[in-house]
Amino acid sequence: MNEKEIESLTDKVLSSHKYKGLHPAVVERIINDLSGKYQGEVLEKKVKEKLHKIFGAFFVHLPDFKRLAKKFEKDLKEKGESFAVLNLLKYQTSTRERLPFYEDFYKEVFRITGKPKSILDLGCGFNPVFLALMNLAKDTEYLAVDIFKPEIDCLNKIFQILKYKNAKAVWGDAVSKNFGKFDVCLVLKFLPCLKEQNCSVQRFLDTTSCRWLVVSFPKTNLAGRRQKETEEKELSEFIESRNLRCKIIEFSNEKVFVIYKHHLEDVRSHLQGEMKRNEI
């Protein structure tokens, strides 16, 4: 497929109601991957199926995000912060599934990592809304990344309403960009989405700059069956081959790996320093 054909199919996919607002770089990358195997209408169908798996499946109905932000503001005034936040979190499947144990979830994770000053949340969905319930300092730096523009705009509105000045959501592709260094990087229920996008789990985790990596998996998939365990195996290989310290926390419907990655960062800085010295 040539560049023009990829561009034209990207535009077509992005003009559909369900996928309007997805980041074009992700749609283009998926078309590129699948175009070696499929063509024409079949290719379009396969691309949409893939987008459903990595994004659409996490909403039972795609909400009107502008209305959600307005409803949040109203709920906040009339019923208080906790009600408004918990109500908003019900709209995305991944955060809704975390609601029964979110208090223990963040308490346990931060007991291991210490209270972070900065958090990167990759493939964030609505998880950044939990920031209001994480018991962290109001000035915590929080960078959230996802591929759906209306959701990102809604998150920024929520941060503004709640006066989180150092929290920001960005519309982007977590696969192809580095977002800088953070104390904690959340990769919650995101590795299965990356595998769907033919992304190497190990390379992705290697290039993520943080002291602590917090990676989780759902215990059941959306259809209620046991989740395939291939990504979990790849994560275990990553931890073992790099000799990383890791604590596993089990919740009723989520398994969380809290990985200390700091010493890898030290090795990386050391190697970069060596390379610079050699250049001199």
- Point out which residues bind ligand SAM (CB under 6 A): 26, 54-55, 58, 94-95, 123-125, 127, 145-148, 173-175, 188-190, 193, 197
Pick between residue 76 and residue 191 the one whose CB is nearest to ligand SAM. 191
Pick between residue 27 and residue 84 the one whose CB is nearest to ligand SAM. 27
First to last CA, the chain: 44
H or E segment to which residue 50 belongs? helix 40-54
Non-local (6+) Cβ contacts of 204 within 8 A are: 175, 194
Distance CA 140, CA 134 (A): 11
Shortest distance (Å) from residue 41 CB to ligand SAM: 24
Shortest distance (Å) from residue 75 CB to ligand SAM: 20
Whats the size of the chain, residue-wise? 280
Shortest distance (Å) from residue 85 CB to ligand SAM: 14
Pick between residue 55 and residue 212 the one whose CB is nearest to ligand SAM. 55
Distance CA 231, CA 55 (A): 18
Pick between residue 230 and residue 269 the one whose CB is nearest to ligand SAM. 230
Contact between 33 and 198 (Cβ < 8 Å)? yes
Shortest distance (Å) from residue 196 CB to ligand SAM: 8
